[in-house]
Amino acid sequence: MIESQMSSLSSYKIFKGFLAFLILFLPVPLVLVSVGVGYLKIPPGEVLKVVQSKLTGEVSEDLKTYEAVIFNIRLPRILLAFLVGATLAVSGAVMQSMFRNPLVEPYILGISSGAAFGASLALGLGITFLTGVQTLAFVFGISSIFLAYVMAKTRGEVPVVNLVLAGIIVTALFSALTSLIKFFVDPHNLAAIVYWIMGSFSHAKWDQLLAVTPMILFPLLLIFAMGWRLNVLSLGEEEAKALGVKVNRDQLVFLSLATFSTSSAVSVSGIIGWVGLLVPHIVRLAFSSDNRVMMPLCASLGGSFMVLADNIARTAFSFELPISVLTTILGAPVFMFLVRRRARRVWS
Amino acid sequence: MVLEVKGLRFAYRGELKFVLDGIEMKLNDGEILVLLGPNGCGKTTLLKCINRLLKPIEGAVLVEDRNLIEMNERDIAKTIAYVPQHQKLPFPYKVLEFVLLGRAPHIGLFSAPRARDYEIAIEALKLLGIENLADRFYTELSGGERQLVLIARALASEAKILLLDEPTAHLDFKNTHRVLGTLRKIIKERGLSAIITLHDPNLAQRYGDKVAVVQNGRIFKYGLPKEIIDSELIKIVYGIEAFVLNFDNLRVVVPK
């Protein structure tokens, strides 16, 4: 009896391991298929041919059009979508562990509304030179979290409850300021602001991708390397401290990394909801709460989910859908299914 | 003697009243010291001051002539393990993953547990006789099992001194005795020492080697349970009349 249980247990573990492996390598075929999807359809075989000839250095004349579409238009967009999805999912998981709450989004401390205000300011004032929209969105995204942190700090300590309350205040403040801008700008700029806030990858270019990649990738790699410490922090301030952790220092480290990468992502994509909430949930329920396991899987699955949503956003209709609308429409039912199915067993 | 508290005073910020006002206390090698006292007398605050979860205003906590108040967090955690009353985990960790967290004082920011840490965690589970729980979710366990897992996590840190804050507060009759019995056995076997806060004088005299009664922020009485727990003490500390009955070697406190 026990032996049969043991063997079924281990085969279950092998199955899970295999599934994790699949998820980690999912982005490769997904990207190859995605570059072929769009107004000009490119069959996977042709995509492989283009990639192959690109690698060997010579692209024949009949593949030139495909090459241009794949490498100049679609690939930067798909890679950017992947990076943004990955960082939102990982930052979500980080924030959830830090705040000991599985319902926390990476935007909890006001990044999204700060970024929205920055972008609105740029669009409203017509500051479009030197990628003004991205820069201001990034700067205000980061500022919002520092504002929240400074507000929350009392006598050298930063209690989590204070931080959440400060986040609510900062979010409200920047939302009000954004509304003020929307109220005063002319309708043309208003449309641009509304469109930016709903999120899109339609302006993705290589230079933008190259600028933002290190800003997203370095924080993510550091977070990966410190995954186990995040497990300790998720026990709560007092217990983590009793286990010898410098809680306030470590919280600041994780907050800074997650904020920096999220602000970078938001500055190029606009505000995209649900990914940071949904993906960590799926990974936690299907695999493990251990952040060492979670982080790479969140990155891979979050990125893939975003690429998929963007594929739909750019191909489903003759016009582009705002991607945030799609991530929510796709995410909400999945989330509901997960919560109903597993919540009772897992959360006491 | 492994631990000595000298002249410890503590007040919460912005409050004039001292919660702890000149605590003097000793913990001997291999001993279980039970802190007794009514709700709000400062037992838990005292425990938290000992491993500096709270910072005392005055006084010293000496462990082998080193003052804990001046040590860094990691060294304190390697010396003293803290077992909280209960842990409400927001995420479903497996028991083994959870016990592994006890290795935190030995593992740096960019490191993760190695094979040796896993061995120590599994060893701690075996000591408590709950290695069969290793693959279960902590969130699915019963109250008694959870308490044992929390103790296993403390053992995994390899600290020689354990602090337990009302470990039986949420447990039924059977589990109360299961947890305290197992705890006492391990402390004696492994040559550890422990300070435990408890509410029940009967549990204190059954499982404690020494008892310290905390009242108004001071140690009101300290000594062997059979010497200090009597009707008079119960009257003074808890304000109720009680019999102390003797059966063979067993003493029982029963309210009148």
Predicted confidence band at A138 (pLDDT cuts at 50, 70, 90)?
Answer: very high
Return the amino acid letter for A75. Answer: L
How many CA atoms lie within 13 Å of A115's alpha carbon, on the beta-carbon side? 30
Whether A270 and A324 have beta carbons less than 8 Å apart is answered as: yes
Most confident of A51-65, A294-308, A313-327: A294-308
Q: Is the pLDDT of residue B118 over 70?
A: yes
How many helices (H) and strands (E) would you count in chain A? 16, 0
Partners of B84 on chain A (C-beta within 8 Å) are 238-239, 242
Q: Is the pLDDT of residue B169 over 80?
A: yes
Q: Is the pLDDT of residue A348 over 60?
A: no
Partners of A246 on chain B (C-beta within 8 Å) are 73
- pLDDT, tens digit, for every residue of B1-60? 789 999 999 998 888 889 999 999 999 999 999 999 988 888 999 999 999 999 999 999
Exposed, middle or buried: residue B10 (CB in 10 Å: 0-12, 13-18, 19+)? buried
Residue of A nearest to B101 (CA): A232
Please name the member of B13, B87, B140 whose beta carbon is closest to the beta carbon of A235: B87
How far apart are the C-alpha atoms of A320 and B90, rounded to whole Å?
Answer: 39
Distance of CA A139 to the CA centre of its chain: 18
Secondary structure (3-state) at B40: coil
The C-alpha of A58 sits at a distance from chain B's nearest C-alpha, in angstroms, of 44
Confirm or reject contact between A226 and chain B (CB < 8 A): yes
Residue of B nearest to A10 (CA): B135
> What stretch of H or E contains A300?
helix A291-315
- pLDDT, tens digit, for every residue of A169-210? 999 999 999 999 999 998 888 988 998 888 889 888 898 899
The C-alpha of B43 sits at a distance from chain A's nearest C-alpha, in angstroms, of 17
Partners of A234 on chain B (C-beta within 8 Å) are 89-91
Q: DSSP assignment, residue B102?
A: G
Taking residues A226-230, what's their average pLDDT? 96
Entry pTM: 0.91
CATH number of the domain residue A190 falls in: 1.10.3470.10
- Name every residue whose Cβ is closer than 8 Å to that of residue B245 and which is 6 or more positions away in sequence: B251, B252, B253, B254
Name which of A287, A281, A226 is nearest A258 in CA terms.
A226
Residue of A nearest to B162 (CA): A242
**Tally of structural domains, chain A:** 1
Partners of B97 on chain A (C-beta within 8 Å) are 231, 288-290
Residue A256 domain boundaries: 2-347
How far apart are the C-alpha atoms of B233 and B242, rounded to whole Å?
Answer: 10
Confirm or reject contact between A157 and chain B (CB < 8 A): no
Return the amino acid letter for A67. Answer: E
> What percentage of chain B exceeds 70 in pLDDT?
100
Whether A271 and A88 have beta carbons less than 8 Å apart is answered as: no
Strands B210-215, B218-223: pairing kind: antiparallel
Q: Provide the pLDDT for residue A306.
A: 96
The C-alpha of A31 sits at a distance from chain B's nearest C-alpha, in angstroms, of 32
How far apart are the C-alpha atoms of A234 and A237, rounded to whole Å?
Answer: 8
Confirm or reject contact between B114 and chain A (CB < 8 A): no
What is B211-256 written as a DSSP string? EEEEETTEEEEEE-HHHH-SHHHHHHHH---EEEEEETTEEEEEE-
Q: Is the ipTM of this complex over 0.90?
A: yes
